Structure 1
Amino acid sequence: MFDHIGIGVRDLDAGTAFFLAALAPLRIELVMRGPDGSVGLGRDGKPSLWLSPASTAPAPLHLAFVAESREQVDAFHAAALAAGARDNGGPGLRPHYHPNYYAAFAIGPDGHNVEAVIHRPA
């Protein structure tokens, strides 16, 4: 639903590596570098998530990314944990949101809660 979002990260290389690895199953990749050293991640050449160097510890955010299948949600969670994230809720239904809310959550290196979600039935 968003066009793009930007977040600060303490270590740009570590933050970029984490998000690229964790979001690879969702077909998100490095698409642009900004003149200030920031990096733009997205699909099809369009940056949707900008990572910028932060001089102070950023406040944690919740970032939810659209998945195209439940298998992508599962793959995101595995990739995020392999990239060094802490588990914040494994793949599964979250019926307290709605009956088809299938998601997984991971805490990235800067404390951001990163989610992959699909809203369609299996």
Structure 2
Amino acid sequence: MIDHMSIAVADAERSKRFYEMTLKPLGMRCLTEMPEDGGGAYGFGVEGGGEFWVVHSDDVGKDMHVAFRAETRAQVDAFYDAAIAAGGRDHGKPGLRPDYGPNYYAAFVYDPDGVNIEAVCYAEE
């Protein structure tokens, strides 16, 4: 089980704004702010703790993928729409991905640093 994870970003404030909009449909919000921490660090999650962190780095890696679990297909759709509205780039519109498994409904977007983020729902409808 994963307790938390972080990704390196070039501009923590920009990424904070992006992920605030993008993760809201999944019920996540910024819970911890450390703007002075070496250029900024922000923790997102549900009440109880930061599960996903964006942290400023001068060495931003592009080989990163993060998948967020959605409870409904409507949340996947809302995640995609919010990410695009926040400045993300399309990497796969919402839809079924039968090659990944039965009922695998997902959407993929590149964040401002080129990180491939996904929302996935396993519900039948």
**TM score, norm. by length of structure 1:** 0.94
The Cα offsets for residues 85-108 of structure 1, whole Å up to 9 and x where unpaired, read as 110001100001112000000000
Residue aligning to 2:72: 69
Residue aligning to 2:92: 89
SS at match of 2:80: helix
The whole-number CA distance in structure 1 between the counterparts of 2:118 and 2:91 is: 9
5+ residue gaps, structure 1, are none
Evaluate the alpha carbon distance shift between residue 87 and residue 26 of structure 1 in structure 2; reply closer, same or farther with a 3 A threshold. same
The amino acid that maps onto 1:23 is L
- Establish whether residue 8 from structure 1 lines up as the match of residue 8 from structure 2: yes
- Establish whether residue 55 from structure 1 lines up as the match of residue 58 from structure 2: yes
CA contact (8 A) 1:88 1:105 kept: yes
Instruction: After the TM superposition, list the runs of 4 or more consecutive aligned residues in structure 1 that deviate by more than 3 angstroms.
Output: none
SS at match of 2:20: helix
**TM score, norm. by length of structure 2:** 0.92
Report percent identity of matched pairs.
Answer: 45
Evaluate the alpha carbon distance shift between residue 80 and residue 10 of structure 1 in structure 2; reply closer, same or farther with a 3 A threshold. same
CA contact (8 A) 1:39 1:51 kept: yes
Residue aligning to 1:27: 27
The whole-number CA distance in structure 2 between the counterparts of 1:24 and 1:60 is: 24
Deviation, 1:120, is 1.7
Tell me the C-alpha RMSD between the 2 structures: 1.3
The whole-number CA distance in structure 2 between the counterparts of 1:30 and 1:57 is: 21
Deviation, 1:56, is 2.5
CA contact (8 A) 1:10 1:58 kept: no
CA contact (8 A) 1:41 1:50 kept: yes
The whole-number CA distance in structure 2 between the counterparts of 1:116 and 1:57 is: 22
